[in-house]
Chains A and B, each alone.
Chain A
Amino acid sequence: MPVKVGIPRALLYYYYYPLWKTFFEGLGAQVILSSPSTKGILTDGLRFAVDEICLPVKLAFGHVLDLIGKVDYIFLPRLISIRRNEYICPKFLGLPDMVRRLAGIPPLIDVNVNRYRGDNELCQVIKEVGRLFTRNNFKIWLTCRRSLKVQKHYFRLLQLGLMPAEALAVLENRVKNEPLAAPGKITVALLGHPYNIYDPFINMNIIGRLRAMGANVITAENLQEQTVVSYAARLPKKLFWTLGQRMIGAALHYLERSDVNGMIHVAAFGCGPDSMTGELIERRARAAGMPFLNLTLDEHTGEAGIITRLEAFLDMVRWKTAGTVEVI
């Protein structure tokens, strides 16, 4: 029976799932995802996480708990840095240590992913993980190469304008042959951490709702890496959070694009980087005269409230596009 590796459907799953999946399956393991987020998973997470922590990490706790009893290992790398001289967020750095003491937890694959000083360490880490499944270094190397290729393909799909769920569907060959929906009349840039904007439960399906209300949605992931980095370089000081930098770079880019009519920033309650990047984006958006909506998510966020705010925001965007009101 193959070894079962559990991957929580949370946090950077939305970026790196194709890579992780191809890698583990290539080494002969079976990958088991936690169930899509539900109220139950969040409630479980809330029970074990401290109150002060941000919503996505609470949800990640829930996803880890969901995997208990179903898998032999839980893949929960300590994501320190995924780009040179940048960090993710202190909570990602401490995540394996925070969940380690949960009752009944299977062994964690909690290797350090640290590219702060370059890639040397990373090769060691890949080998370390691979060694859990095979002793064949060559096989590990081949699998790693193949997974990087799949990952590149995934990022390319995202840059074509697909959302992660759609891109995954393409990768896994389960796209239904349906006519595409007619494009909306206005385009809204949706900015936020990937685990906030792509998890339809946590954000009350914001992408689906915006589309249903007749708006096209574009996100930071639809942009190429170079674009984001070059726009983020306009800040007075380099931002040291990779995800925050992506958000800001995308925001500055979209502020200059005439086909973008509005901007929504999704923040999680208590998120440290969001409190800073949100502030910077809001100030710049105001200066550029771009309609801007800041949505803060927490476990008490009500669906009706979100809908009302989205409707009001889109009304404002439409009026502004039609030239009937002036946005200050």
Chain B
Amino acid sequence: MRVTFPHMGSLYIPLTALLQTLGVEVVVPPPSSKRTLTLGSKYGPEFACLPLKLNLGNFIEASELGADTVVMAGGCGPCRFGYYAQIEQAILKDLGYELQFIVLEPPERHISELLTKIRHIAGRSSWWQIVQAIRFGYRKALAVDEIERSALFSRPREKVPGSTDDALRRALEMIRNAATPGELPAAREYALALMDEVAVDINRPVLKVGVVGEIYTLLEPFANLYLERHLGKLGVEVDRSIYLSGWVNEHLFYGLARGIGSGKKAREASSPYLRHFVGGHGQETIGEAVLYARRGYDGIIQVFPFTCMPEIVAESILPDISKDYGTHSLTLIMDENTGEAGMVTRLEAFTDLLARKKETKEAL
């Protein structure tokens, strides 16, 4: 069994660690690229959302590298993500790719459905080993998040352009190479030290922008056309509303470790704008936007893939929040036709607007 999985930002680091600890052979798909997207949008349904197309591309590329099994998460609606696996499987089958799908999702009837699937992946490992492997993966996810958070801080303040991204790449590589739980703490220390070594100008004035929206486009830099990097270059300190570990916590652990993420706080803040969950992260998007506005952020950027249903609901409501709190919001919608230059122009205009407003406010 050669297992592969879809890419979502740095998800491959903890997931590879988890699977390898269980003695599973892992085929990491090549990083999402133009080719991945082209393959995905060629074979995927026209109006399916971007993550489906990228997943499909990932699977095709991984299959070319010899993968024969796909492990991915599922769901039970109302967001389309819950039916991804079934659609992708049907498409791949018609294309002649022999891939077996193991979909981890809330069981329809009994918890044993889920346990059987985990057993299938884990092979002969004991349940204790499985728990240890999950803990190892989760700790890697936490380390990755720490590193990315530190990159968000130093990018707008870096003295040498590009030095943050350079350090980030090397730091992530460090975490990735930690092969056992014992090696991880040292790797983490070293990686964080690498990030601290980036020369920053601490007094440089920066704009603060909160980024909200759909989880996949937030976490996968290829899907959001390296939004955080562009914003950093424009002197914006980005605060991301969702991190990998939070997502893993809520979706892959099926609430076993609930209470750690900030999801609940965001959902509470979403009232009275959006009084009911709308699937996906729609309600969290609204809630996070309210929280950012309350904390006095200069602006809010919402990112989501074209035709994403929950986020469209959120998009309709976002202007009300901007109006009530006197903040600004920008919505960026990603699909296979979105151009990077067009997005950068919009970001430049948006940051100009925010900077001017901040200047006037400070002058008063």
Query: Which of A's residues lie within 8 Å of B, judged by CB?
Result: 49-50, 52-53, 78, 80, 85-91, 93-94, 96-98, 101, 112, 235-241, 267, 269-276, 278-280, 283, 296
Q: Are A94 and B313 touching (Cβ within 8 A)?
A: yes
How far is the CB of B222 from the nearest CB of chain A, in Å? 21
Which residues of chain B have C-beta atoms less than 8 A from A237's C-beta? 74, 83, 85-86
Which residues of chain A have C-beta atoms less than 8 A from B78's C-beta? 87-90, 93, 240-241
Which residues of chain A have C-beta atoms less than 8 A from B46's C-beta? 275
Q: Are A278 and B45 touching (Cβ within 8 A)?
A: yes
Given contacts A240-B76, A241-B78, A279-B87, contact A90 B278 (CB under 8 A): yes
For the complex of A and B, the 10 pairs showing the least CB-CB separation, nearest first, are A240-B77, A94-B313, A87-B78, A275-B47, A90-B309, A279-B45, A90-B279, A272-B309, A98-B316, A93-B278
Query: Which of B's residues lie within 8 Å of A, judged by CB?
Result: 45-49, 74, 76-80, 82-83, 85-87, 89-91, 94, 108, 273-280, 282, 306-310, 312-317, 320, 333
How far is the CB of A22 from the nearest CB of chain B, in Å? 27
Q: Are A50 and B312 touching (Cβ within 8 A)?
A: yes
Q: Which of A235, A240, A241, A269 has its CB near the most chain B CB atoms (within 10 A)?
A: A240
Given contacts A52-B307, A52-B333, contact A98 B313 (CB under 8 A): yes
Q: Are B47 and A267 touching (Cβ within 8 A)?
A: yes
Q: Are A272 and B282 touching (Cβ within 8 A)?
A: no
**CA of A87 to CA of B309 in the docked complex: distance in angstroms?**
13
Q: Are A236 and B89 touching (Cβ within 8 A)?
A: yes
**CA of A136 to CA of B315 in the docked complex: distance in angstroms?**
41
**CA of A87 to CA of B81 in the docked complex: distance in angstroms?**
14
Q: Are B313 and A90 touching (Cβ within 8 A)?
A: yes
**CA of A80 to CA of B313 in the docked complex: distance in angstroms?**
14
- Starting from the known contacts A50-B312, A90-B309, A276-B45, 10 additional A-B residue pairs (CB-CB under 8 Å) come to A90-B280, A93-B78, A96-B275, A97-B313, A101-B317, A236-B89, A240-B76, A240-B83, A271-B307, A276-B48
**CA of A239 to CA of B83 in the docked complex: distance in angstroms?**
8
Which residues of chain A have C-beta atoms less than 8 A from B86's C-beta? 235-237
Q: Are B312 and A52 touching (Cβ within 8 A)?
A: yes
How far is the CB of A243 from the nearest CB of chain B, in Å? 11
Which residues of chain A have C-beta atoms less than 8 A from B91's C-beta? 279
**CA of A288 to CA of B320 in the docked complex: distance in angstroms?**
49
Given contacts A49-B316, A93-B279, A97-B275, contact A276 B309 (CB under 8 A): no
Given contacts A90-B310, A97-B274, A283-B90, contact A275 B80 (CB under 8 A): yes
**CA of A101 to CA of B276 in the docked complex: distance in angstroms?**
16
How far is the CB of B321 from the nearest CB of chain A, in Å? 11
How far is the CB of B114 from the nearest CB of chain A, in Å? 14
Q: Which of A91, A235, A271 has its CB near the most chain B CB atoms (within 10 A)?
A: A91
How far is the CB of A310 from the nearest CB of chain B, in Å? 20
Q: Are B83 and A276 touching (Cβ within 8 A)?
A: yes
**CA of A237 to CA of B49 in the docked complex: distance in angstroms?**
20
Partner of B315, one of A50, A267, A270: A50
How far is the CB of A289 from the nearest CB of chain B, in Å? 15
**CA of A278 to CA of B306 in the docked complex: distance in angstroms?**
17
Partner of B47, one of A94, A271, A280, A283: A271
**8 contacting pairs across A/B (C-beta < 8 A):** A52-B315, A88-B78, A90-B78, A90-B279, A93-B277, A272-B47, A278-B47, A279-B91
How far is the CB of B79 from the nearest CB of chain A, in Å? 7
**CA of A94 to CA of B49 in the docked complex: distance in angstroms?**
19
Given contacts A50-B315, A93-B278, A112-B276, contact A87 B307 (CB under 8 A): no
How far is the CB of B121 from the nearest CB of chain A, in Å? 19
Which residues of chain B have C-beta atoms less than 8 A from A275's C-beta? 45-49, 80, 307
